Amino acid sequence: MSRLSAMSGYPEFLPGQRMVEQQVLQVLRETFELHGYAPIETRAVEPMSQLARKGEIDKEIYVVRRLHATDEEAATGPDQLGLHYDLTVPFARYVQEFGGRLSFPFRRYQIQRVWRGERPQEGRYREFTQADIDVVGAERLADHHDLEIPLVALEAFERLHTELGLPAVRMRVNNRKLAEGFYRGLGVTEPAAVLQRVDKLDKIGADKVRALLVEEVGLAQDAADACLQLSQITSPDSSFVDRVRALGVEHPLLEEGLELLSTLVAAAAERVPGRLVADLSIARGLDYYTGTVYETELAGHESMGSVGSGGRYDSLASDGRTTYPGVGFSFGVTRMLAPLFARDALRASRPVPSAVLVAVDTEETRGAAEQVAAALRARRISCEVAPRADRFGKQIRFAERRGIPFVWFGGVEGQVKDIRSGDQLDADARRWEPPAEDLRPRVLTD
């Protein structure tokens, strides 16, 4: 039989890595729910007509078809389906479908698998987990939610850093109103076209972006230079406002964007100092963003790119009668964790949940060992019973290989051994507690 090899783009985590992922997801869930976000889960498939309506990502959609479907059914069937490539498209459909039963503004979080047929590389996968939060209104949504979403996201990232030891983050923010107002103040009639080119700044550099603005968008050289000057402004405080105004461009939309962005930067400086900066190069080339936009990087791991992004959109969905504006943020859970696992920068203190291995004297007394395990489990202490009644030395080595810190000998009133220090004490399984740091596997970092 040929040796199996991993499928590129479909990361599978080992048990210890999966336990780290579960702790990360638990921190995210707790943070979201503390802020009143309700959990939802949508189906994995959506009609192709819904998934492909944006156009720019239709080549990356995985189509789902019945194995024995005819070619005609596969091409034209009304039930032609695809796997969702993000959580925004299914959420838009969900809001339309259940809008009459939801209370607005509707706050939701969603943690699910996503599938996208792109070229696999570090941080980019064909199957991955995302965690999204959104606040959606019916017809209108107050501007203060543009501040709320990134602050909730930063609170979650800060908890991952302080509680689990993940790298700290830096969130870079801009406002599409600021950028569009600036471009319109220059006389640009197609600001979206400028945004799409500026969005390539990190990938191709300023000279090539300038050439695109002149050759493809038709900007004059001085207007292209002004757009690039704007994109090079960055600041951890509100000083960016004066730097923008010093460029000499005026437009009401520009002033609105400056006010919104400076308010966010000031709020973040108070709540999570040092974690958010205004960066006017952030464009988020997708057309549906209309206000504040966010991108987040891990400090020391900037080569991984953004591990969380989002922004304001004026129309998540519309049923012809009601339009649903919103603000959202997406955490790239797999995008963040898989490279850290590959670099051994993140791992579990042990690869199993068990804190205790209950030794077995003989197979005839296995029942007594099971009673000990039951007493421990009744008090939420994870444990397992030794698989064989080997010599105690072998059972201890078995625990060592699994990373289990304690071995229990005897009945409910027996002895427990810390196999790391060698200490062995009398103990009662109905009362004994392991040290708090040994109760659950911990997340370890370099």
Element (H, E) at 183: helix 176-185
Least confident interval from 53-57, 89-93, 321-325, 334-338: 53-57
Element (H, E) at 312: strand 308-318
Give the pairing type, strands 356-358 and 406-410: parallel
CA 446 to chain centre: 22
Q: Which residues are CB-neighbours of 3 under 8 A, at least 6 positions away?
A: none
Cβ neighbour number for residue 363 with a 10 Å cutoff: 9
Annotated binding site for L-histidine: 86-88, 116, 130, 134, 284, 288-289
Element (H, E) at 207: helix 206-215
Q: What is the pLDDT of residue 438?
A: 97
Tens digits of per-residue pLDDT, 103-138?
Answer: 999 999 999 999 998 888 887 899 999 999 999 999
CA end-to-end distance (rounded Å), the chain: 39
- Look over the chain and give the mean of its residue pLDDT values, rounded to a whole number: 91
Q: What is the pLDDT of residue 6?
A: 77
What share of residues in the chain are helix, strand, coil (percent, to 5)? 40, 25, 35
d(CA 446, CA 347) in angstroms, rounded, equals 9
d(CA 316, CA 289) in angstroms, rounded, equals 10
d(CA 408, CA 373) in angstroms, rounded, equals 9
d(CA 135, CA 346) in angstroms, rounded, equals 32
d(CA 407, CA 206) in angstroms, rounded, equals 62
Cβ neighbour number for residue 402 with a 10 Å cutoff: 13
Residue 78 has pLDDT above 70, yes or no: no
Q: Specify the long-range contacts of residues 372-381, CB closer than 8 Å, at least 24 apart.
A: 372/408, 372/410, 372/411, 372/412, 372/414, 372/429, 375/412, 375/429, 375/430, 376/408, 376/429, 376/432, 379/430, 379/433, 381/355, 381/356, 381/433, 381/434, 381/439
Annotated binding site: 86-88, 116, 130, 134, 284, 288-289
d(CA 261, CA 45) in angstroms, rounded, equals 37
Q: Residue 71, class by beta-carbon neighbours within 10 Å (0-12 exposed, 13-18 middle, 19+ buried)?
A: exposed
Contact at 8 Å (CB) between 183 and 299? Answer: no
Tens digits of per-residue pLDDT, 240-274?
Answer: 999 999 999 999 999 999 999 999 999 999 988 99
Tokens matching residue 13:
């985590």
pLDDT band at 217 (very low <50, low <70, confident <90, very high): confident
Q: Between the CA of residue 367 and those of 372, 384, 385, 407, 408, what are the distances in Å?
A: 9, 13, 10, 17, 14
pTM above 0.85, yes or no: yes
pLDDT band at 58 (very low <50, low <70, confident <90, very high): low
SS3 for 358?
A: strand
d(CA 248, CA 222) in angstroms, rounded, equals 13
Q: Which residues are CB-neighbours of 73 under 8 A, at least 6 positions away?
A: 65, 66
Give the pairing type, strands 413-418 and 346-348: unpaired
pLDDT band at 295 (very low <50, low <70, confident <90, very high): very high
Q: What is the pLDDT of residue 57?
A: 60
Residue 65 has pLDDT above 90, yes or no: no
Tens digits of per-residue pLDDT, 19-52?
Answer: 999 999 999 999 999 999 999 999 999 998 888 7
pLDDT band at 356 (very low <50, low <70, confident <90, very high): very high
SS3 for 90?
A: helix
Q: What is the pLDDT of residue 7?
A: 84
Q: What is the pLDDT of residue 75?
A: 58
Domains and CATH numbers, the chain: 15-347 (3.30.930.10), 356-445 (3.40.50.800)
Tens digits of per-residue pLDDT, 386-395?
Answer: 999 999 999 9
